[in-house]
Amino acid sequence: MTSVYIGCGAGFAGDRFDAAVPVVATLSNLHGERFLIYEVLAERTLAIAQKLRRENPDQGYSPFLDTYLPLVLADCHRHGIRIVTNMGAANPLGAARRVHVLARELGIRGLKVAAVTGDDLLATLSDAQIRALPIIEGIALGERTIVSANAYLGAQCIAEALATGAQVVLVGRTTDAALSLGPLIHVHGWGAGDLERLAQGTACGHLLECGAQLTGAYFAEPGFKDVPDLARVGFPIAEVAADGDLVVTKAAGTGGRVSRGTVIEQLLYEVHDPHNYLTPDVVLDIGEVTVEEIGTDRVRVSGARGKPPPLTLKATVCVDAGWLGEAEISYAGPNALARAELAASIVRSRCRAIGISDPVRVEVLGTQAIFDSDTQARRARLSPARDGEYRVRAAVRTATRKRAQQVADEVLSLYCSGPAAGAGVRQHVTTQVATVSVLVERTRVHPTVTLLEAP
């Protein structure tokens, strides 16, 4: 019986650039069908990619493609490890062409690369049709400019891409779990009715999609949840049998830990109703799942159940959402808290005086402000130390860059016009994209696989 091994090389755009190297080294010593996935596409990432593609039709794929793939492409090709990734972003075909360029530079011959398209609703629906789709989460679209609109494709199109013999598969928006489930459907031949196996495969994809969050990262807490050698944390590898048996482990010779605790935390990560985790392939029910340590850094996950998937697909629409202006300044040493709080009150007064009508949040970092509200409702219950190190932060969301900068500049001016010894101002003024989740009928979404042979 063929086992499938799936390693994860990145859990978000910006994940550790060389994390996949030990994963590939481990996979190359295993026998069976082996895959390496990279998940780099947050909801907003696609909006940025879509803007880049509009400026240059060759661009719009993930800029991390050039960061991640050259480190592993030759070894993956040599050992028959196939890569599945959503680095296609807004331009999977452009990404596929770029992979061929990288392969040529690395001296790799005969690489087959497939691109999956069809998630981009801007290519198939009119602006009015997109605005008419029912909203399930987020703000009303109103008059806001639509930057991107992408349906979440399922695993089937990835399985089809692998069936072409492609060694690298580039997708845009799919569910994150599909990056793992696609290879499993391809190798094990699971059908749409194999609900329990699809559920186990979806659980596998869900566990892998955030990289080291399964292997001790976003987990470690000294004295309570100690994780060895977190600086060299190994990224996860899953072993999945044809009957859905699922064991998760990590790259050999690395730091980190795979335990019941790390697995259960990730199993529930960003899950709402654990009995109804909706995907285009299966509705996953983890209510009866058991998690068992079967060896060092080896955990078996069993008992996922499946129900037929919904008739509609979720899609994310990204719209322009004005500007975020932020700035910070520090106060340290004796009586730092009072100086910081005076600075905060000055910024509030100044924002009123210059006519900023949008809500401005002004807070003192070091007083558990990250737990607090815009009005610092929680701060009143705390008694922070008088001396120490505190940092004042102001933030505003507003329609124009000018007003966002004005608020940031009220913090900057504290250098010479605020309390004693204000230091270390940083400003950050950025454009913002808001996301809206909508539903679209499956019949309006047509995934297409394109195989690009080496030129």
Partner 1 sequence: MSDVQVPLHAVAHARAGDKGNRSNISVIPYLPEGFAPLVEELTEERVLAVFAHKGATRVKRYLLPKLPAMNFVIDDALEGGVNASLCLDGHGKALSYLLLGDVTVRVPEECIPADSPYRKALGL
Coil, strand or helix at 444 = helix
Binding partner 1 by CB under 8 A: which of 286, 356, 392, 438? 286
Output 349 or 373, the one with its CB closest to partner 1.
373
Phi, psi dihedrals of residue 393, rounded to the nearest 5°? -130, 135
Cβ proximity to partner 1: between 218 and 310 the closer is 218
Work out whether strand 146-151 and strand 312-333 pair parallel, antiparallel, or are unpaired.
Answer: antiparallel
Instruction: Pick between residue 184 and residue 283 the one whose CB is nearest to partner 1.
Output: 283
Helix (H, G, I), strand (E, B) or coil at 205: helix
Residue of the chain from 66, 105, 229, 374 that contacts partner 1 (CB under 8 A): 374
Piece of the chain touching partner 1 by CB under 8 A; list 61-69, 166-174, 176-184, 358-366: 358-366
Binding segment for partner 1 (CB under 8 A), chosen from 8-16, 99-107, 155-163, 371-379, is 371-379
**Site for partner 1 (CB under 8 A): how many residues?**
50
CB of 375 to partner 1, least distance (A): 8
User: Sign of the CA dihedral 290, 259, 241, 183?
Assistant: positive
Cβ–Cβ < 8 Å for 55, 48 = no
Least separation in angstroms between CB 244 and partner 1: 17
Report the DSSP pairing between strands 82-85 and 146-151.
unpaired
Q: Which residues contact 51 (CB under 8 A, 6 or more apart)?
A: 147
- Of 119-127, 159-167, 246-254, 354-362, the segment contacting partner 1 by CB under 8 A is 354-362
Q: What is the C-alpha separation between 449 and 160, in angstroms, rounded?
A: 7
Among 29, 143, 355, 371, binds partner 1 (CB under 8 A): 371
3-state secondary structure of 178: helix
Q: What would the x/- binding string for partner 1 be over residues 6 to 45, using CB under 8 A?
A: --------------------------------------x-
| Distance in angstroms (rounded) separating the CA atoms of residues 358 and 3 | 57
Alpha helices in 132-231 (DSSP H): 156-163, 178-188, 195-208
Query: What's the CA gap between 393 and 411, in Å, rounded?
Result: 8
- Cβ atoms within 10 Å of 402's Cβ, excluding its own: 11
Q: Which position has the token pair 């109103």?
A: 142
CA 109 to CA 104: how far, in whole Å?
A: 7
Among 133, 170, 278, 434, binds partner 1 (CB under 8 A): 434
Q: 236 near 214, Cβ under 8 Å?
A: yes
Residue closer to partner 1 by CB (options 241, 271) is 271
Distance between CA 146 and CA 124 in Å, rounded? 14
- Which among 62-70, 233-241, 304-312, 390-398 is the span making contact with partner 1, rule CB under 8 A? 390-398
One symbol per residue from 213 to 252: x for binding partner 1 (CB under 8 A), - otherwise; what is it?
-----xx-x-xxx---------------------------
**Per-residue x/- track, 161-200, partner 1 (CB under 8 A):** ----------------------------------------
For residue 239, give the amino acid letter.
E
Stretch that binds partner 1, among 145-153, 183-191, 241-249, 388-396 (CB under 8 A): 388-396
71 or 365: whose CB is closer to partner 1? 365
Beta carbon nearer to partner 1, 66 or 374 = 374
> For residues 138 and 310, which CB has a smaller minimum distance to partner 1 in the complex?
138
3-state helix, strand, coil in the chain (%, to 5): 30, 30, 40
Binding mask 308-347 for partner 1 (x = CB under 8 A): -------------x--------------------------
User: In 10 A of CB 221, how many CB atoms?
Assistant: 8
Phi, psi of 58 (to 5 degrees): -80, -15
Rounded to whole angstroms, the Cα distance separating 156 from 186 reads 8
Which residues 249-268 are close enough to bind partner 1 by CB under 8 A? 261, 264-268
Q: Which of 81, 151, 396, 452 binds partner 1 (CB under 8 A)?
A: 396
Interface with partner 1, residue 74, by CB under 8 A: no
For partner 1, the closer of residues 32 and 303 by Cβ is: 303
- Kindly state whether residue 271 participates in binding partner 1, applying the rule CB under 8 A: yes
**How far apart are the C-alpha atoms of 347 and 268, rounded to whole Å?**
41
Interface with partner 1 by CB under 8 A: which residues? Answer: 44, 137-139, 218-219, 221, 223-225, 261, 264-275, 286-291, 303, 321, 359-361, 365, 369-374, 377-378, 393, 395-397, 434-435, 437
